Amino acid sequence: MKKMFSMAIISAFCLGVNAQTVRIQQSITPTSEDSKVINLPKPRKEGGKPLMNCLNERKSIRKFSEKPLDLQVLADLLWASYGISREDGRRTAPTARNAQDISIYVVMESGIYLWESTKNVLILIEKGDFRKETGPQEFVPTAQWNIAIVSDLSKYGDVKDVAAVKYGAMSAGYVSENMYLYCASCDLATVARGMFNPEVMNKLLRLNENEMVMLIHSVGMMSR
């Protein structure tokens, strides 16, 4: 019973692969110049390091290698962070009242994309490299992906209510920790950032007045 319980925890939180087995590709771009959708590979839901190892190795890293990661790693990371894990539509990260208020945007060299988890695709929002606009720190544009965690506060009622912001922040925190654990599981570098210009991010992501960027994760290969 203990072994089965441990394996269940590992499968849920310690996805990914060892850095030595991470596949590399030259770039991540849509399938054609006019493509507005990137079809992601099916996420892998097994493997990775034991949970206690991931917790011990979880840390913020602000230095990234120039070696790119492939779409499989991105698909795994997104699923581990906030993917649908049950037939009833519930996810790998909880939200208050199961409001599922979180949206995830990926800012990378080829453009800004919204992750559509139900279809496992990235939808193009804006073509071009806007990574440096997601934060003032020097390391930000060197990360392969800057991943914005956005909460739709209207799902908690009045968006001006302190409770709505509190619940949205809680949801984002759960997603952030899943990102950290996945990255620890496969030796990726990541750091959660609260330092960004909200007005700039709202414009880049084309958010409405009910949506708020809670955190941004910079992610890339670990620099050796």
Domain ranges of the chain: 2-16+24-221
> What is the predicted pLDDT for the residue at 223?
86
Topology at the third CATH level for domain 2-16+24-221 = NADH Oxidase (3.40.109)
Q: Which of 35, 24, 63, 204 is nearest to 132 (CA)?
A: 204
> What is the predicted pLDDT for the residue at 31?
44
Tens digits of per-residue pLDDT, 33-71? 447 999 999 999 998 999 999 999 999 999 999 999 999
Tens digits of per-residue pLDDT, 107-125? 999 999 999 999 999 999 9
List phi, psi (to 5°) of 88: -85, 5
d(CA 15, CA 47): 6
**Which stretches in the chain have pLDDT values below 50?**
1-34
> What is the predicted pLDDT for the residue at 224?
76
